[in-house]
Amino acid sequence: MTASQRPEPADPGGRNTTDTDPIRVSFRRYAGVRTRVLEVGPQPVESTDRAPRRVLGKRTTSRGHAKPTAPRLVLLHGYCDSADTWRPVLELLAAAGVPAVAVDLPGFGDAQPLRPGPMLPQLDAFTAAVIKEQAVLGTVVLAGNSLGGTMSLRAAENHRLPVSGVVSIAAPGFVDSWLIRTVARYPLPLRMYSALPLPIPGFLVRAVAEQVVPRLLYANATAADADQVRRFTSLFPDYRSTTTRLEQARQLVEELTNAYRLEEVRIPLLVVVCGKDKLVSAASGRQLHALVPHSRLMVREDWGHCPQLDDPVEISELLTYFSASASRPSKIAAARVAAEVSEDTVAG
């Protein structure tokens, strides 16, 4: 496998890990990228079966065939976000006994940075490594918000990956808002901003971010969680970092132009449309649903761009029910998972 686990005494995301915290924090390496992992659910245990297998990067020898346990949710965050966006949902999943992991994508949170060059292929390799690790422990269902929704859809297009279902929440690249279209079509304002002779003071950058972030991410800015807003605004501490993030966003929007091969999506797909999303329009989700005829569509007019922050209770229930239905065993799915696990064991 591509992951190695090392426990950490504290969560660099700002919250201490204690005995009462249901979220376990560790650092692992996927596709060569060291990152932070938030995990809930029963601790992985070694099988008593006969076949060699791997558990979170460790090779174990046991008897019989690997028997996947409960469906495992893999949660992917959006651009300029981190695994912490899923903390409220993870706590609810932990209480329900649902296994789940959320990871910092490369370039965000506490993950190592992206390398120069195209971003999506790097994120694809990282996502595939996470999926293969988790597939050893049970059937995998992906849920992604924004950029995480893009990565989930791209993983669903890859038939070699053992994914049983995907929940795509506000994935960009279809019918996006004026703001995203502006980033893609009119790079001049960004270049003018980065070329200003006197950099904008850091305190002013942060003050603007504190006003803008709640309005972009939440359905109701006045209900925004102060800790979550603080976490986002910490990504823009000064003029230079803001310029870098804007240029990176422009590159990502350009890559989204040819990001999808939706005719290859054959697994269960739930498309979540958020009526108060100010970044990805509701029309975007409806178009995605139309392009994948077997998909299911859920429309919530009262959710914003990050419904895991607006309504973690509803999102956790939605993910639980969908993962249970998408992970019902089938001969085809079971054969695909067995083949992938066997391939990874031999490769290891």
Does residue 56 have a pLDDT over 70? no
Output the pLDDT for position 42.
83
Distances (CA, A) of 342 to 12, 138, 180: 35, 14, 42
H/E segment holding residue 47: none
Provide the 8-state DSSP code for 104: P
Output the pLDDT for position 20.
81
**Which ranges of 109-238 would DSSP assign to H, the alpha helix?**
120-135, 147-157, 178-185, 188-194, 202-217, 226-233
Output the pLDDT for position 179.
56
Would you say residue 195 lies in a domain?
no
Q: Which domain holds residue 34?
A: 24-40+68-177+259-326
Would you say residue 18 lies in a domain?
no
Output the pLDDT for position 334.
43
Would you say residue 155 lies in a domain?
yes
H/E segment holding residue 24: strand 24-30
Output the pLDDT for position 210.
62
Would you say residue 153 lies in a domain?
yes
Structure tokens at 298: 């859920």
Does residue 4 have a pLDDT over 50? no
User: Mind listing the pLDDT tens digit for each residue in 135-158?
Assistant: 999 899 999 999 999 999 999 999
Would you say residue 293 lies in a domain?
yes
Q: What percent of the chain has pLDDT over 70?
A: 67
User: Mind listing the pLDDT tens digit for each residue in 69-112?
Assistant: 578 999 999 998 999 999 999 999 999 999 999 999 999 999 99
In this prediction the pTM is: 0.78
Q: In degrees rounded to 5, what are phi and psi of residue 166?
A: -140, 135
Provide the 8-state DSSP code for 294: T
User: Mind listing the pLDDT tens digit for each residue in 250-300?
Assistant: 888 889 989 999 999 999 999 999 999 988 989 999 999 999 999 999 999
Answer whether 104's CB lies under 8 Å from 84's CB: no
Residues whose CB falls within 8 Å of the CB of residue 95, separated by 6 or more in sequence, listed in order = 22
**Domains in the chain, number:** 1
Would you say residue 232 lies in a domain?
no
User: Mind listing the pLDDT tens digit for each residue in 300-309?
Assistant: 999 999 999 9
User: Mind listing the pLDDT tens digit for each residue in 220-238?
Assistant: 877 778 787 777 777 666 6
C-alpha R_g of the chain: 20
Would you say residue 120 lies in a domain?
yes
Provide the 8-state DSSP code for 80: T
Question: Higher model confidence: residue 309 or residue 348?
Answer: 309
Residues whose CB falls within 8 Å of the CB of residue 221, separated by 6 or more in sequence, listed in order = 214, 215
* DSSP secondary structure of 204-251: HHHHHHHHHHHHHH-SSGGG--HHHHHHHHTT--SHHHHHHHHHHHHH
Answer whether 306's CB lies under 8 Å from 331's CB: no
| CATH number of the domain within which 88 lies | 3.40.50.1820
Answer whether 56's CB lies under 8 Å from 69's CB: no
For the beta carbon of residue 333, count every other beta carbon within 10 angstroms.
18
Unique residue bearing structure tokens 């990504």: 235
Q: How far is Cα 122 from Cα 171, in angstroms, rounded to an integer?
A: 18
* DSSP secondary structure of 28-43: EEETTEEEEEEEESSP
Exposure class string for 59-79: b at 16+ Cβ within 10 A, else e: eeeeeeebebebbbbbbbbbb
The rounded mean pLDDT for the chain is 78
Question: Higher model confidence: residue 33 or residue 220?
Answer: 33
Would you say residue 296 lies in a domain?
yes
